[in-house]
Structure 1
Amino acid sequence: MTTQAASIRHPVAAFYLYYIALYAPVAITISFFPLWIRAQGLDDRQTGLVMALGAALAVLVNPAVGAIADQYRSRKAILLALVGGSVLSAGLLFSAEGFVGVLLVFLATKAFSASLIPLSESMALAGVPRYGLDFGRLRSAGSMSVVAVSVALGWLVDRAGTEVIAIAFLVTYLGQGILALMLPNDDIAVRHTVKGPLLQVLQVPGFSLFLASAAVSQACHGFFYSYSALYWKSVGFSASTIGYLWALGVLAEITAFTCGSLLAARISPPALIALACAAGVLRWSLTGLAQTPGVAMLAQLLQGATLGFTQLGAAQYVRTRVPAQVLSSGTGLYAACTGLLTAACVFAGSFLFASVGGRAFLLTAAMCAVGLAAALVLRAREARLMDVAGAG
């Protein structure tokens, strides 16, 4: 084996291990963290407000971190600082009391952790041509981590109570910090300052339609993360059953991510996002009716389309349409828009869920219908531009 080949394989292995650690705390946040919040004495509306304000904070943090990364050009250094802050703030969970205490600690954690995924994705997308990374398979490693953590944590919560959720949260961030140290340095020599990175991204043709489709589809999952465990618990599902349902959904998305390179080669990013939104209309409608495990299982199987296709389409769109020098700003803006939409619908859901229960998921079904329309317009727009270019 040549030295060059060895130098390429090591970064690839480091990325795969890191992505497993990256999505471990995500699994806790989206599956069982609302139960921990409720265990601190907060009601449904207060729980929804905490989650919504956390998503809203990401709107401010993500574009700023993305722009800084493009200016500073050392994503790994910024990533390590964010993981360190996440560890310290997660440690404060053990002293959080009451609504104000839980809110402040959760916001502190989100301030550091909100940008971890978009910043990590910008590093991974930059590594696609550099190291030969397959983004879909890399992302599937993160999904496998979600499966393992969801099942294991569901088992632990049933036996040890909700206190174990905070412990798992801290441990997973510590593991992420250790594996982040193994990532390759991605420092790039700065020849000139990148001017207006956020404005450059917004000027990409069709980027607003991309946000109106992909970010909407992604935001619907944020709503699901906030209320699914509470909803399933209210209709009598055990914590173990909830963990298995999460695992089923993530297994479906793993299948989609594993086939990601084949899909991306045959289907344009706008078409993939349109398929995701169409599946979202069906999935969220079913989820609102999922008072039996059978219907819930069917809804969860659609996660391969709703989440897998959304993230594959978004990653391919950003990688191929956004200029390389503002890649972190592109992922940051996408994450910020997703956070804004998530915060809005989670906040609305804090009132709807308390009033109508699972029927609140019809809100996300309607949002996906809007996202589908935007994705179809973007697909048609790009097709016309290709026809014009071909005729020229």
Structure 2
Amino acid sequence: MSPADFRRYALFYLGYYGALGAYTPYIGRWVSANGHGGYVVGAMLALWYGGRIVAPPTWARLSARSEFPGRWLVAGCVLAMLGFAGFAGFDSGIMLFVTMAWFGVCFNAVMPQFEAMTLSTLGDRNHDYGRIRMWGSIGFLIVAGSYGWLLDRLGNDAFVWLTLPWLLLTVAAAWLHRGDRPHPVALPATTAREGLWRRPGTRHLLVTVLLMQLGFGPFYVFYTLHLQAQGHDGFAVGSLWAIGVLCEIVMFWVAPRLVQRYGAHRLMTVCIATTVLRWSIVAMFGSSFAWMALAQTGHALGFAAFHAGCMRRMAELFPQRRDMAAAQGMLYGFSGGIGGVAGAGVAAVAWQLGGGKAAFLAGAVVSIGALLAHALPMRAARAASAAS
């Protein structure tokens, strides 16, 4: 990849995840500031995760038929920006949900397409992917770490206008790819998902990632609101988000060595157990910045290392490349899709019943379920092997 291509691809990740760094931590704060309760906040995030189920496969089929898939990328980014701009005029009523659905579908559609474009361009140099993807984490870090402070000073109404420039940057970066053509690679054979589902170990992995994502529901939906309710100002909230992202970046660099040394199953066990402890700390000691900072360091294991372990397990379960695309789609649908929607729903109910403490304790309980789903099948398999 030439330096010019590197800049083109890195710029898109910077803009896309910069916009996500505004949306993920602060959409709940904006919705709540407009007078809505926990159920509305949860429904908004459920629509967001629902877009991850329906949008990527549909968009992939449309762009795959095009001679210039880069034009579909531009179109998706423009539609996402226009959808988000709708929040400036619709902050209540049914149109709030319509706007959310529009933005969620379009914004979630383009990244899987761009990831495929990136990996296709890298070819045999796919190990350089991390150097490009890192710019996405930098964008998320800059925005998530600073927008809490900015919203305290400019007011919550500034949320939409502070986010739109990052979406405009995403459109501009996509425009640089408008003439990109499909790479001449052989298409993988179609693999029936039913066959993948029956493969030994697959269902246990999918249930584990679904429950893990469900347990993250309170974090993605109500973490900022929980911190505000516990007396933290915008600067403290942004700092805590930044701590989590910094730990995530560091872990992504060292995770391959950890997986190699300890194995995916053992590493994932530690990650899930750490997440149980993390949500318990957030629930019980939310008023303490020091305890919240300590809990945020758990993002390195609960998110980054867990993701690395999942990818290794996927490679072990589906060693043939022709199976991997369908398997990854199935994993994405279970975790980010079904798990995300269910997590938002559970978090909303718990928040309405008992606030942040109840929501994060619910996340800890669900994470215990993920730990059991992950650990017990392996223990049973070992016992059966010893008996034979």
TM range (shorter): 0.7 to 0.9
1: CA distance between counterparts of 2:242 and 2:149?
Answer: 12
CA contact (8 A) 2:191 2:326 kept: no
Instruction: Identify the residue that residue 297 of structure 1 maps to in structure 2.
Output: 293
Residue 216 in structure 1 maps to residue 216 in structure 2: no
1:173-252 equivalence runs, <5 A: 173-182=167-176, 185=180, 187-189=182-184, 194-195=189-190, 198-199=193-194, 202=197, 205-252=200-247
Q: Which residue of 1 aligns with 2:44?
A: 50
Which of 337, 342, 354 pairs up with 2:334?
337
Q: Return the match for 2:55 from 52, 61, 83.
A: 61
Q: Unaligned regions of 5+ residues in structure 2, if any?
A: none
Name 2:321's counterpart in structure 1.
Answer: 324
State whether structure 2 residue 118 is matched by structure 1 residue 103.
Answer: no
Q: Shift in Å at residue 41 of structure 1?
A: 2.6
Shift of residue 66 of structure 1? 5.2
Give the Cα–Cα distance (whole angstroms) in 1 for the partners of residues 124 and 115 of structure 2. 14
Query: Which string of whole-angstrom CA distances, capped at 9 and with x for unpartnered residues, describes residues 56-87 of structure 1?
Result: 34323344445666787986554433222211
Q: Within the alignment, does 1:276 sit opposite 2:271 as a pair?
A: yes
Q: Which of 114, 136, 140 is the equivalent residue of 1:142? A: 136
Q: What are the residue-to-residue correspondences of 1:148-167 with 2, within 5 Å?
A: 148-167=142-161
Counterpart AA for 1:223: P
Partner of 1:31: 25
Matching residue's letter, 1:352 = A
CA distance in 2, matches of 1:24, 1:51: 18
After superposing the two structures, state which structure 1 stretch, 49-58 or 91-100, moved more: 49-58
Change (3 A) 1:382 1:69: farther
Equivalent pairs, count: 379
**Stretch deviating more after TM superposition (328-337 or 186-195):** 186-195
CA separation of 1:36 and 1:192: change in aligned 2, threshold 3 A: closer
Indicate if the aligned counterparts of 1:118 and 1:332 stay in contact, CA closer than 8 A. Answer: no
* SS of residue in 2 equivalent to 1:32: helix
Q: CA deviation at 1:136?
A: 4.6
- Cα RMSD over matched residues? 3.3
Query: What are the residue-to-residue correspondences of 1:308-319 with 2, within 5 Å?
Result: 308-318=304-314
Q: CA deviation at 1:167?
A: 1.4
| CA contact 1:273–1:310 (8 Å) conserved in 2 | yes
Alpha-carbon shift at residue 254 of structure 1 (Å): 1.2
Give 1:30 deviation, angstroms: 1.5
Q: Secondary structure at the match of 1:245?
A: helix
How far has the Cα of 1:195 moved from its partner?
3.3
Out of 202-211 and 144-153, give the one that drifted further. Answer: 202-211
For 2:373, the aligned partner's letter is: A
Distance in 1 separating the partners of 2:203 and 2:128:
27
Larger mean CA deviation between 135-144 and 170-179 belongs to 135-144
| 2:99 equivalent to 1:87 | no
SS of the residue corresponding to residue 114 of structure 1 reads helix
Higher mean C-alpha deviation, range 366-375 or range 164-173: 366-375
SS at match of 1:148: helix
Asked if the contact 2:268/2:309 (under 8 Å) is kept, the reply is yes
**3-state SS of paired residue (2:294):** helix
TM-score (norm 2): 0.84
Pair 300,17 (structure 1): closer, same or farther in 2 beyond 3 Å: same
Deviates more, 1:188-197 or 1:107-116: 188-197
Aligned equivalent of 2:360: 361
Percent sequence identity is: 20
Q: Deviations over 1:219-239 (max 9, x none)?
A: 433431110111111111111
Amino acid at match of 1:16: A
Q: Distance in 1 between matches of 2:312 and 2:28?
A: 32
Say yes or no: does 1:261 pair with 2:261: no
Taking the aligned partners of 2:272 and 2:86, their CA distance within structure 1 comes to 38
Cα deviation, residue 94, structure 1: 1.1
Cα shift at 1:135: 4.4
Does the CA contact (< 8 Å) of 1:284 and 1:365 recur in 2?
Answer: yes
Separation in 1, partners of 2:76, 2:382: 40
Task: Name the CA distance, whole Å, in 2 between partners of 1:201 and 1:185.
Answer: 33
Contact 1:19–1:139 (CA under 8 A) maintained in structure 2:
yes
Q: What is the CA–CA distance in structure 1 between the aligned matches of 2:381 and 2:160, rounded to whole Å? A: 46
Structure 1 residues 104-152: Cα deviation after superposition (integer angstroms, max 9, x where no partner): 1111100111234444444455566533434455444322222110122
- Contact 1:252–1:303 at 8 Å: present in 2 too? yes
Counterpart CA distance in 1 for 2:106 and 2:240 is 29
Q: Tell me, which stretches of 5 or more residues in structure 1 are unaligned?
A: 1-6, 388-392
Q: Deviations over 1:286-312 (max 9, x none)?
A: 111122212111111111111111222
Alignment CA distance shift 1:380-1:82 (3 Å): farther
Distance 1:159 1:263, change over 3 A: same
Q: For residue 41 of structure 1, give the secondary structure of its aligned residue in structure 2.
A: coil
Q: Provide the rounded CA distance (Å) in 2 between the counterparts of 1:66 and 1:17.
A: 22
Whole-angstrom CA distance in 2 between matches of 1:311 and 1:73? 33
